[in-house]
Amino acid sequence: MHSDILRIVGIGEAMVELSPAGEGLYRLGFAGDTFNTAWHLAQLLGGRASVGFCTRIGTDATSQRFVSELKRDGLDTKVVGRDKSKHMGLYMIELNGTERSFQYWRGESAAKSLANKSAKLEQDQAGADLIHISGITVAILPPHAREKLLRTLSTARRTGTRISFDPNVRPALWSSLDKARNATLDFVAIADIVLPSFDDERLLWGDSNPTQTVRRYRDLGVAETVVKNGSDPVTCATPGEQHWLPTPAVSGIVDTTGAGDAFNAGYLAARCQELGQTEAVAAGQAVSAEVLKSAGARAHRDTIRALGLRLFGSQPEVAARRDDITLDDGAALD
């Protein structure tokens, strides 16, 4: 997966995030599972990679603020599409101690149409070394768009792109768990790396332990599986070996939102740098720990950039980014 400058694309939904900032106060930010991963990847890898987030947003002031933040933080915005008739979805975090619950408003989310146009998807994926998607990416799409995404990812994989998939099960986004299972299997079939959370696997498949999860994905032909399990050990496997790696204790936990997405970023960044699986798990745990100590789904930018330097060493200069992004009204369907 290594080249001089890697091209990485995350695909999914970014939402407006309202996170607690005091009694009756909320902080506005942006988050979403694959977006969190792509953003952390961009900060960790810096000039080693061009990281883009393929999504659709509105043309309103909040959507423009999102684009401005992407540019500021070094992400490639050419794969962001715009829709004049829609806007970004919104969610609010409610905390009980360090544990969180969510309320969502995503009915008019422009991201639901991110896969409507096959030609645009193919253009956005062209030349990618790594593409990262999730079960939420899959769940928010209507069936016809889901099929287009599956086809374009299959084509990209045949031309050398590696596909990373976090099943990330959200039952509320599916009409039944059977449909979630079937869709998950479709995307697992074209994935090189699968990054599930054990709680999701237990819910969806009835797994009794992470080893059972690893065995099922290995039997399905997945080359690389990493099972996250909260504060319990991480179970990871390739066809030739399996490891159980303890999760270091984290002090000063503020908010568990986005910890798994951050782990994905650290793990994938390390694998992009050709580190072994055990080293990649340690990198994932380090990034996750920083998010656990932060409010909301993303850690502070400078903290993650400094962590990237500690993990991977000095970086080449970051290439200049284009300031334009794709603008279209989303009216035409393929």
Query: How distant is the alpha carbon of residue 80 from its chain centre?
Result: 15
The predicted model gives 262-266 an average pLDDT of 98
The predicted model gives 295-303 an average pLDDT of 92
| Helix (H) and strand (E) counts in the chain | 11, 13
CATH of segment(s) 12-312: 3.40.1190.20
Q: What residues are labeled active site?
A: 261
pLDDT for position 316: 62
pLDDT for position 298: 94
d(CA 139, CA 56): 15
End-to-end CA gap in the chain: 32
Q: What is the pLDDT of residues 158-215, one digit of tens each?
A: 999 999 999 999 999 999 999 999 999 999 999 999 999 999 999 999 999 999 999 9
d(CA 41, CA 7): 11
How is the chain split into domains, by residue range? 12-312
| Residue recorded with tokens 């975090």 | 93
Buried b (16+ CB within 10 A) or exposed e, 138-152: bbbbeeebbebbbeb
pLDDT for position 98: 66
- Per-residue pLDDT band at 295 (split at 50, 70, 90): confident
Residue 322 in this model has a pLDDT that exceeds 50 = no
Q: Are 266 and 277 in contact (CB under 8 A)?
A: no
Residue 101 in this model has a pLDDT that exceeds 70 = yes
Strands 241-245 and 234-238: antiparallel
pLDDT for position 317: 55
d(CA 25, CA 31): 18
For the ranges 154-158, 165-169, 256-260, the lowest mean pLDDT is seen at 256-260
- What does the block give as tokens for 31? 């988050």
The 8-class DSSP code of residue 28 comes to E
Residue 116 in this model has a pLDDT that exceeds 50 = yes
Amino acid at 245: L
Amino acid at 201: E
pLDDT for position 22: 84
Please give the C-alpha separations between residue 237 and each of 193, 219, 225, 226, in angstroms, as whole numbers.
Answer: 10, 12, 5, 7
The predicted model gives 214-238 an average pLDDT of 96
Return mean pLDDT, the chain.
92
Residue 330 in this model has a pLDDT that exceeds 60 = no
- What does the block give as tokens for 50? 């061009």
For the ranges 18-32, 75-89, 204-218, the lowest mean pLDDT is seen at 18-32
**Orientation angle between helical segments 198-205 and 177-188, nearest 10 degrees:** 120
Q: Are 49 and 122 in contact (CB under 8 A)?
A: no
Q: What is the pLDDT of residues 27-49, one digit of tens each?
A: 999 999 999 999 999 999 999 99
Q: Are 280 and 243 in contact (CB under 8 A)?
A: no
Please give the C-alpha separations between residue 218 and each of 42, 194, 209, 287, in angstroms, as whole numbers.
Answer: 29, 10, 15, 26
Residue 253 in this model has a pLDDT that exceeds 50 = yes
